[in-house]
Copies of this chain bind each other. A is one copy, B any other.
């Protein structure tokens, strides 16, 4: 099948893309899109508490988190790349920014997904969101040095954070992920060290499904919530 488009997900830590956008990834992958996940870090320091408690070393933890994320990406139908820049905190350097610009230039996403711009519980998340927003702008500029040509204007969405009410998260889109929820659940179950989140994010998907039903009148069971960064453009009220 010919490539129908490219969805790129920029995830601060190894597992964020699964909890927050796993449904979108599976959905678009099934439609013949290239879906590419960029993990800035493995979440080795900030999101691997149970592994540290077991006494694992930093390198072991990174390996375990990497393998889990690879399995999850595989289930969801996505390519995955790890930049391994170190988490808690992620330091935004010119080199990291350039790495994202070159990724965007090379893979030319039609749609970009990343974190919210506010999150009082996690400083890496808003920093990643700002990085993505800026790299997208730089990738559009003719004068930015690259072997690839400038990109157009891909839409950018923030996926739902852990505590949306504390993150100024406004829901602009409830994405129906009912047809692919099984894959999302399987992908979540790859995250051995975070078993408590499997049920938690299943419940989130159900609640968003109920709301999607109420906002549309359609029979939707599972959904993911997204906030749009730029206006939609097109010929339809959607």
A interface residues (Cβ-Cβ under 8 A, vs B): 7, 24, 27, 44-46, 48-49, 52-53, 58, 61, 88-89, 91, 94, 97, 111, 120-123, 130, 133-134, 137-138, 141-144, 152-153, 155, 157, 163-166, 169-176, 200, 203-204, 206-207, 210-212, 214-218, 220, 223, 225-226, 228-238
Known: A48-B142, A173-B231, A229-B120. A237 touches B206 (CB 8 A): no
Known: A45-B144, A173-B232, A207-B203. A217 touches B152 (CB 8 A): yes
- Is A230 in contact with B111, judged by CB distance below 8 angstroms? no
CB distance from A188 to the nearest CB of B (A): 16
Which chain B positions have C-beta within 8 A of A91? 94
What separation, in Å, do the CA atoms of A171 and B120 have in the docked complex? 13
**Do most interface residues of chain A lie in helix, strand or loop, or is the interface mixed?**
mixed
Which chain B positions have C-beta within 8 A of A142? 45, 48-49, 52-53
- Is B174 in contact with A232, judged by CB distance below 8 angstroms? yes
Known: A45-B143, A143-B44. A234 touches B155 (CB 8 A): no
Please give me the residue from chain B that is nearest to A24 by CB atom: B237
What separation, in Å, do the CA atoms of A163 and B171 have in the docked complex? 10
Please give me the residue from chain B that is nearest to A223 by CB atom: B233
What separation, in Å, do the CA atoms of A134 and B200 have in the docked complex? 25
- Is B216 in contact with A233, judged by CB distance below 8 angstroms? yes
What separation, in Å, do the CA atoms of A216 and B88 have in the docked complex? 21
- Taking a contact as CB atoms closer than 8 A, the residue among B24, B88, B138, B172 that contacts A88 in the complex is B138
